[in-house]
């Protein structure tokens, strides 16, 4: 049986960490209004959903063989979470690519394209998803459940950010508070990485 709660907690930790999507959505909503923010959220959601669906299909091919691959994926997941933790600790969320895309086209299209082509999102799902399935080999239906859970959590957070943009921006994206939030969540990510590491050698 899949550990959907554990997976959801891992996704929530990552999604709550201030990053490019959150910074872009907050800035866009404050500068151009809620309608622009909601349009961008729609694009981000569709991009994440397409990215997640492709990741599930890729994972089904990568993980269909037995042997040492399961341990390698666990190690990759631990490395991925460690990298995300380090990235969050440094606070290197660069919104420049989002701002360029937002100027050059519709916000929904920009959100879709940038999230569809986001290798970090794809790698996260491929590496982390197997950690919450006995044997480390999720079926395609299980993968789509994980994908839907991940996209739903991200979308709820993005919508909450848009609807409370001024308050959320002040709480999460002001430099001093953002640093504290990022570093607390970075430590949590390291804890998840350590758990994945123990799975690799158990």
Interval 73-88: pLDDT, tens? 777 878 877 877 787 6
- Nearest CA-CA partner of 126 in 53, 194, 183: 53
Q: Are 63 and 136 in contact (CB under 8 A)?
A: yes
Q: What is the DSSP letter of 65?
A: S
Q: What is the pLDDT, as a whole number, of residue 49?
A: 96
Where in the sequence is the domain holding 158, given as residue range(s)?
4-200
> Would you place residue 151 in the very low, low, confident or very high pLDDT band (cuts 50, 70, 90)?
very high
Q: What is the pLDDT, as a whole number, of residue 202?
A: 65
- Nearest CA-CA partner of 115 in 80, 150, 79: 150
Angle between helices 119-128 and 4-16 (to 10 degrees): 150
Q: What is the pLDDT, as a whole number, of residue 168?
A: 57
Higher pLDDT, 55 or 93: 55
Percentage above 90 pLDDT, the chain:
26
Angle between helices 140-163 and 4-16 (to 10 degrees): 40
Instruction: Note the pLDDT tens digit of each residue in 18-68.
Output: 777 887 888 788 878 888 889 999 999 999 999 999 999 988 877 765 556
Q: What is the pLDDT, as a whole number, of residue 104?
A: 40
Mean pLDDT of the chain: 80
3-state class percentages of the chain: helix first, strand second, coil last, to nearest 5: 85, 0, 15
Give mean pLDDT, residues 159-185: 70
Spatial CB neighbours of 122, under 8 Å, sequence gap ≥ 6 = 51, 54, 55, 58
In this prediction the pTM is: 0.77
Number of domains in the chain: 1
Give mean pLDDT, residues 97-107: 56
């Amino acid at each position: 049986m899949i550990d959907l709660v554990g997976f959801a907690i891992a996704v929530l930790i990552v999604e709550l960490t201030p990053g490019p999507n959150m910074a872009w959505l907050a800035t866009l909503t404050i500068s151009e209004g809620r309608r622009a923010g909601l349009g961008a959220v729609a694009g981000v959601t569709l991009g994440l959903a397409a990215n997640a669906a492709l990741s599930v299909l890729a994972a089904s091919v990568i993980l269909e063989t037995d042997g040492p691959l399961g341990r390698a994926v666990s190690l990759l997941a631990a490395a991925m979470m460690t990298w995300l933790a380090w990235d969050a600790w440094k606070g290197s969320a660069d919104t420049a690519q989002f701002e360029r895309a937002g100027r050059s086209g519709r916000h929904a299209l920009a959100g879709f394209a940038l999230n569809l082509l986001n290798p970090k999102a794809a790698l996260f799902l491929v590496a982390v998803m197997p950690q919450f399935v006995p044997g480390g080999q999720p079926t395609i239906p299980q993968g789509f459940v994980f994908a839907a859970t991940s996209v739903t959590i991200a979308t709820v957070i993005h919508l909450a950010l848009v609807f409370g943009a001024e308050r959320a921006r002040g709480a999460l994206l002001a430099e001093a508070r953002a640093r504290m939030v990022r570093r607390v969540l970075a430590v949590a990510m390291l804890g998840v990485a350590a758990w994945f590491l123990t799975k690799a050698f158990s």
